[in-house]
Amino acid sequence: MAKAQHHLKDPTNKHSFFEDVWDVARQIPKGRVTSYGAIANYLGTKMSARMVGWAMGAAGNAKPKVPAHRVVNSVGLLSGKMHFGPHDEMQKRLEKEKIKIEKDKVVDFEKVFWDPAKELML
């Protein structure tokens, strides 16, 4: 069998790791947050939580929109806030969803934490 796809640039066929990450992120309920590691774990690659964060960076081009602001690090810190813009847009969005932020950290992180591996459980 010859390799049929050398230069796959087909937008309809881009089921990459990023797409999977975005798909999970889009299912995060409003007013809840999750961590990069949690998403990575759900996808089976728990050791590469970095990739999840990376996927978030590319989420800007994703359609429909990906609530990347609902994804924080394992301690509830808004580690990616700087990628939302020069201002604290990430924090503003979270506060808009009734999520309280203090010193760039999610208050009651464990309460609002949403684990795809448990909640989504598919």
Is residue 17 a contact point for DNA (CB under 7 A)?
A: yes
**Which of 26, 27, 32, 80 touches DNA by CB under 7 A?**
80
Q: What is the DSSP letter of 29?
A: P
Q: Quote the CA–CA distance of 39 and 117 in Å, as a whole number.
A: 8
Q: Which residue has the tokens 């796959």?
A: 8
Q: Quote the CA–CA distance of 43 and 36 in Å, as a whole number.
A: 11
Residues of span 25-54 touching DNA by CB under 7 A: 35-38, 45, 47-54
Binding site for DNA (CB under 7 A): 16-18, 35-38, 45, 47-54, 56-60, 68-69, 71, 73-75, 79-80, 83-84
